[in-house]
Amino acid sequence: MFNIFGSKPKNYENLDGTTFRTRYQSAAKAELLDVRTADEFAGGSIKGAKNLDVSSSQFQQALKTMDKDKEYFVFCRSGNRSGSACDIMSKEGFKAHNLAGGIGAWPR
């Protein structure tokens, strides 16, 4: 069928906060990635998250050294940057999940 809107299928999942946390905690090999800036990360993040700023030049470089056997649970402030990060990662062969709504959607 024709794709008249030009949208592309996503190769990653957008998950609500509860599903995101549950899948992260139950995955055999999982990594939690905060793709905000270092300043945002320093201001507070989810316990256990690693910071890898999707807007930095190091992001693409870091992907070359990351384990593709892991599942990556990715978040930012609102879910937009992490969605972009998941898109890039999935194109590189990573299994990535986006926290829809961003860090505020993480269950307390």
Q: What pLDDT digit, counting tens, does each position of 63-108 carry?
A: 999 999 999 999 999 999 999 999 999 999 999 999 999 999 999 8
| Of 32, 29, 33, residue with least CA distance to 54 | 33
38/40 Cα distance (integer angstroms): 5
- Are the C-beta atoms of residues 42 and 34 closer than 8 Å to each other? no
Q: Is residue 32 part of a domain?
A: yes
CATH number at residue 87: 3.40.250.10
Name the residue range of residue 97's domain: 13-105
* pTM of the entire predicted model: 0.91
Look at the chain and report how many structural domains it folds into.
1
All residues at 6 or more sequence positions from 72 whose CB lies less than 8 Å from its CB, including other chains: 30, 31, 33, 66, 86, 89, 94, 95, 96, 97
Q: Is residue 93 part of a domain?
A: yes
